[in-house]
Amino acid sequence: MTNRIALITGASRGIGRACALALSDAGARVALAARNVGQLEELAGQIRSNHREAFVVPVDLASQDSIKEAASCVAKEFGPITILVNNAGITKDNLALRMKKDDWDLVIATNLTGAFLMSQQVLQGMMRERWGRIVNIASVVGEMGNPGQANYVASKAGLIGLTKTLAHEMGSRNITVNAVAPGFIETDMTHGLSQELKDKMLANIPLRRIGKAEDVAGAVAFLASDAAAYVTGHVLDVNGGIYM
């Protein structure tokens, strides 16, 4: 993927940050997108210090206008996007019985609709290039469900369905669309969990460890590479065996 331009959403921290670093190490020029521009600039500085190229662009995945503006800015100022990692996501947890519609709407808008709209923005360019890679960051809970996360689970299950449909539609254009479904990964999202809950989850993980963001990034880098040219519509589980 040398010199190909990869756009990573939610690149400011966690899995998105690890994906940006992995793709940069693999030779891609990386466009870093998120709401926190300060964190993006810090990451861009780190990448540039390794003599690689990075471009920072603010984006709010809950806003169609923001998505269009970000994609257009990257294409005009940095170059055609041929790798997209739809990573950005949020949670607004509650039991379904008590979940507010606003919390449902915001999670679906950001995690699912945002990924759909961003994919729309880059597909025309990928079709012109006759080469493209879209990697959607789903979740193990999108496959197995999880109490208290009806909105988040629905968004990730929907992302898997979107992945398979786009793979059907884009295959003849040499564009692959795949998903990575992380399990229990050590990120800012999981830092607040109690040790008791962590221990309970670890007991159900055959590899007996919490995953690292780099574990997910390695899978993303593979799916974005030429080595995965014959892989599309696939959901790659990176979950330590918690769901098989």
The tokens describing 142, both together, are 């999108």
Provide the token pair at 230.
């014959």
Q: For 136, which DSSP code?
A: E
Catalytic one of 152, 177, 178, 220:
152
Sheet of strand 235-238: strand arrangement: 54-58, 29-34, 5-9, 81-86, 132-137, 175-182, 235-238
Cα Rg of the chain (Å, integer): 17
Question: Catalytic residue at 230?
Answer: no
Which residues, including other chains, have CB under 8 Å from residue 216's CB and lie 6 or more apart? 15, 18, 19, 137, 180, 182, 185, 238
Cβ atoms of residues 32 and 40 within 8 Å? yes
- Amino acid identity for residue 20 in this structure: A
Return d(Cα 18, Cα 216) in angstroms, integer.
8
Active site amino acids: 152
